[in-house]
């Protein structure tokens, strides 16, 4: 008796389930900004994208059983994230243009900026 037989009908149904899941997540991607989590749209969209990417990698690219590849990918992502956090942390601490930055400086109303920078033609008369 051959033990290496593959039940293709069962595999096909698994692929269809993943396809339906991906289509539902795509629909949620379009609906989400208007229906829920409107304050954190970016994080919600990134979470949906990560889940969709994970489903594609694990099932369509057949990495579900490859533990070494998964561990090496996770380790590589950890190293990249660590260096990214270090570089951003150093850059934020040594930011040179804090008083010129539109991000870190206090907000100045546009009307006041216009009065200070543009000379008035009526004031000279």
- Chain center to CA of 44: 8
Contact by Cβ (8 Å): 90, 63: no
pTM of the full structure: 0.56
Residue spans of the domains in the chain: they are 1-65, 67-118
The whole-number mean pLDDT for each consecutive block of 10 residues of the chain, a chain of 125 residues, reads 78 91 94 85 90 90 85 91 90 69 58 54 54
Task: Name the nearest CA neighbour of 73 among 60, 59, 58.
Answer: 58
- How far apart are alpha carbons 115 and 111 in whole angstroms? 6
């Amino acid at each position: 008796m051959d033990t290496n037989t593959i039940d293709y009908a069962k595999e096909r149904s698994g692929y269809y389930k993943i396809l339906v899941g991906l289509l539902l997540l795509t629909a949620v991607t379009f609906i989400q900004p208007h229906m829920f989590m409107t304050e954190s749209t970016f994080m919600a969209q990134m979470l949906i994208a990560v889940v969709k990417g994970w489903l594609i990698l694990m099932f369509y690219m057949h990495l579900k059983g490859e533990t070494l590849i998964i561990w090496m990918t996770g380790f590589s992502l950890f190293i990249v994230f660590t260096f990214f956090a270090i570089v951003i942390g150093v850059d934020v601490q040594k930011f040179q243009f804090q008083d010129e930055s539109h991000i870190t400086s206090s907000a100045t109303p546009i009307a006041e900026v216009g009065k200070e920078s543009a000379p008035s033609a009526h004031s000279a008369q």
